[in-house]
Amino acid sequence: MTAPLEFYFDFTSPYGYFGAEQIETLVARNGRTVNWHPVLLGVIFKATGQIPLLSVPLKGEYSGRDLQRISRLTGIPFKLPTPFPVSTAAAARAFLFAGEADAAMAKQLGLALYRAFFVNGRNIGDTEVVLDVCAEQGLDRAEAAIAIESQAIKDQLRAGIVQAQGLGVFGSPYVIVDGEPFWGWDRFPMIETWLQRGGF
């Protein structure tokens, strides 16, 4: 029971951001590790017929309030950026590029991208902004620029999304623990109980 957890997220998902800020400490204090997998909710929602959360009447307004409240409760800074949501293909591909060399660097870049968007309001839907963040994290900007336009990385992202859909991933964050799926930041306490008890 020491296989890594699998953490699926979209860079434009606010609850995915809160999840990304907490997943590593959650798994570490339970003696586990976690793999990060960027997905594109735009692709996934097309398959399931869902629409972006904040576009749903009433539910969208509620979620805006819920996100501010989670920020106050957890102490994780959060400000809904404009524009929102954005296309996160470039961010996801940059993550995969960083992960080719080093999974830890990819996670560091992933958090930096999330914070650029949800703390500093930088538009990570813009490829130039994504490349700026790559450079700030010590990656080679020119190499990153070539990589995220490469067919190999595009194919890798596409294949990753298809695989995620095959595993039932329909939202962000989505965590698989020893085959058991958990959707949503609000399932993190349940994930922890699951890890502590070895299931229930």
Number of CB atoms found within 10 A of residue 172's CB: 27
Minimum distance from residue 67 beta carbon to its own copies (Å) = 13
Q: Which of 65, 82, 151, 179 binds its own copies (CB under 8 A)?
A: 65
Count of residues in the chain: 200
Give the one residue of 106, 169, 176, 191 binding its own copies; rule: CB under 8 A.
169
Choose the binding region for its own copies from 5-13, 122-130, 136-144, 183-191 (rule: CB under 8 A): 183-191
Contact call for residue 56 and its own copies (CB under 8 A): yes
Confirm if 41 and 12 have CB atoms less than 8 A apart.
yes
d(CA 167, CA 150): 26
For residue 101 the two structure tokens come to 């060399």
Q: How many other CB atoms are found less than 10 A from the CB of residue 135?
A: 14
Q: Does 170 bind its own copies (CB under 8 A)?
A: yes
Asked if residues 181 and 174 have their Cβ atoms less than 8 Å apart, the reply is yes
Binding of its own copies at residue 67 (CB under 8 A)?
A: no
Give the residue, chosen from 122, 141, 154, 187, that forms a contact with its own copies under the rule CB under 8 A.
187
Q: Report the alpha-carbon distance of residue 100 to residue 85 in Å, rounded.
A: 27
Contact with its own copies (CB under 8 A): which of 30, 50, 123, 163?
50
How far out from the chain centre does Cα 118 lie? 12
How far is Cα 187 from Cα 181, in angstroms, rounded to an integer?
Answer: 10
Binding piece for its own copies, criterion CB under 8 A, among 68-76, 79-87, 127-135, 147-155 = 68-76
Nearer to its own copies (CB atom), residue 61 or residue 136: 61
Task: By CB under 8 A, tell whether 179 contacts its own copies.
Answer: no
Helix axes 41-48, 151-166, angle to 10 degrees: 40
Q: Which stretch binds its own copies (CB under 8 A): 2-10, 13-21, 85-93, 179-187?
A: 179-187
Which residues of this chain interact with its own copies, rule CB under 8 A?
47-51, 56-59, 61-62, 65-66, 69, 72-73, 165, 168-171, 180-181, 183-184, 186-187, 189-190, 193, 200
